[in-house]
Structure 1
Amino acid sequence: MTEENGEAMLNIGVMTSGRGNALRMVLETCTGHGKVVAAVANLDCPALGVARDNGIPHVSLHRLEDYPSRAARDEAMAAELHKAGVDFIFSAGYSDVIDEALLSAFPDRVMSVYPSLLPAFAEDDEAIGPALDHGVKLIGVTFHLRQALSGAGGAIIAQEPIPVDVDDTIATVEPRILQTERDMLPGLFAAFAEDRVRREGRKLRILPAS
């Protein structure tokens, strides 16, 4: 981590695979608590262009087919992120599971977000539709640590419920989920930057700001 004007700042690496919307959200919400210094992708995707257009200094592509194994690919990604000075990772719209080779290089410092109140509807390719089809009254957002070879199995950092009703659809719920993610992110970046996150087994405790 670095400091600016006496405030602790994260050096954030973003793992991405998509259009860049999640990357833009990180760039917009980390101000004051961190800066994005690297972006890595597993696919040749528009998010890489977003990263370059926003002046992120380290941008790289790591396709699985270019490596002998997922472990080798993720070890190379970890090395690239360390080289860029990254001390915190957000897997924002990242389409693949992550090997322990990367997670062990950044212990308890790889965060992701999932559009449900985990562990409900974990590991679904698309969680909102199944939740609405099930007739839930609350959907939500979960920020969690990544777990090896799992998309949604890591320790929960923070959750926020979002009420839904029988007339809601994916189209009506998605904007509320995205806004909730945006609202939660600054506080989570601040908690990690200020070293206020404590692991207690599978449970995480966020200490109050001093």
Structure 2
Amino acid sequence: MQKNIVILISGGGSNMAAIAHAAVQGRWAERFNARVAAVISNKPEAGGLKIARGLGIATAAVDHREFAAREDFDAALSREIDKHAPALVVLAGFMRILTPGFVAHYAGRLINIHPSLLPAFPGLHTHRRALEAGCKVAGVTVHQVTTELDHGPILAQAVVPILPDDDAAALAARVLTQEHRIYAQAIEGWLAG
């Protein structure tokens, strides 16, 4: 049975593009009968949608601003995702907090990437917070999504040293290179396991 991967984005889609390229380079179709079936954004103007279309991946947008309630948005988003019968739903810079019902619907097949070494620094502004705390290292975590924000079983982590002259932007750029590497590795591990 085909293992369809649906990737959710809100912005430029660099992690999505890294995953899509890894799927081709890693021969996921041949090795795991898996493919990136669709990229869906909560922002119709998200640059990642154009990148996905350029890669030949189906795209859709479900604009969260058109819904009065979070539950209504999540229901519409689920309907769009479920058109692709996903084996795995990948949050790749998807900047929405999901409802418990949404998380339950995709339990065991919903993963996220977070730019810190969880459980440290869940939420926003992770790089600034790590610098303010005087951390010597930062990093990135791929984890299964639960109803608790930025928690859930950890699938992969990568450590990035904090350099003496780092600011949040410099640290974020170095962390992003590791995000692109480990997210695809974690998905491949999930497909193989």
Normalised by the length of structure 2, the TM-score is 0.86
* Mean CA deviation greater in 170-179 or 89-98: 170-179
The corresponding residue for 2:48 is 47
> Where do 1:156-167 residues align within 5 Å?
156-167=154-165
Is the counterpart of residue 102 in structure 1 residue 102 in structure 2? Answer: yes
CA distance in 2, matches of 1:75, 1:111: 18
Q: Secondary structure at the match of 1:96?
A: coil
> Where do 1:26-175 residues align within 5 Å?
26-31=19-24, 32-33=27-28, 34-44=34-44, 45-57=46-58, 59-123=59-123, 125-148=124-147, 150=149, 152-175=150-173
Give the gaps of 5 or more residues in structure 1. Answer: 3-9, 197-210
The corresponding residue for 2:31 is none
Q: Secondary structure at the match of 1:107?
A: coil
CA distance in 1, matches of 2:131, 2:110: 29
User: CA shift at 1:115, angstroms?
Assistant: 1.1
CA shift in 2, pair 1:142/1:107, >3 Å: same
Asked whether the 8 Å contact 2:15–2:183 carries over to 1, the reply is no
* Mean CA deviation greater in 61-70 or 108-117: 61-70
The corresponding residue for 1:205 is none
CA distance in 2, matches of 1:149, 1:117: 16
| Residue type of the alignment partner of 1:43 | K
CA distance in 2, matches of 1:52, 1:149: 33
User: CA shift at 1:13, angstroms?
Assistant: 0.5
User: CA shift at 1:17, angstroms?
Assistant: 0.6
| Residue type of the alignment partner of 2:186 | L
Normalised by the length of structure 1, the TM-score is 0.79
CA distance in 2, matches of 1:141, 1:74: 26
CA shift in 2, pair 1:171/1:121, >3 Å: same
User: CA shift at 1:50, angstroms?
Assistant: 1.9
CA distance in 2, matches of 1:121, 1:186: 22
Asked whether the 8 Å contact 1:15–1:39 carries over to 2, the reply is yes
Give the superposed CA RMSD.
1.9
| Residue type of the alignment partner of 2:153 | A
CA distance in 1, matches of 2:92, 2:71: 20
The corresponding residue for 2:4 is 11
CA shift in 2, pair 1:47/1:182, >3 Å: closer
Is the counterpart of residue 183 in structure 1 residue 173 in structure 2? Answer: no
Give the gaps of 5 or more residues in structure 2. Answer: 29-33
Higher relative contact order (CA 8 A, sep 6+): 2
- Percentage of identical aligned residues: 26
Asked whether the 8 Å contact 1:89–1:109 carries over to 2, the reply is yes
Asked whether the 8 Å contact 1:143–1:159 carries over to 2, the reply is yes
What is the aligned residue count? 185
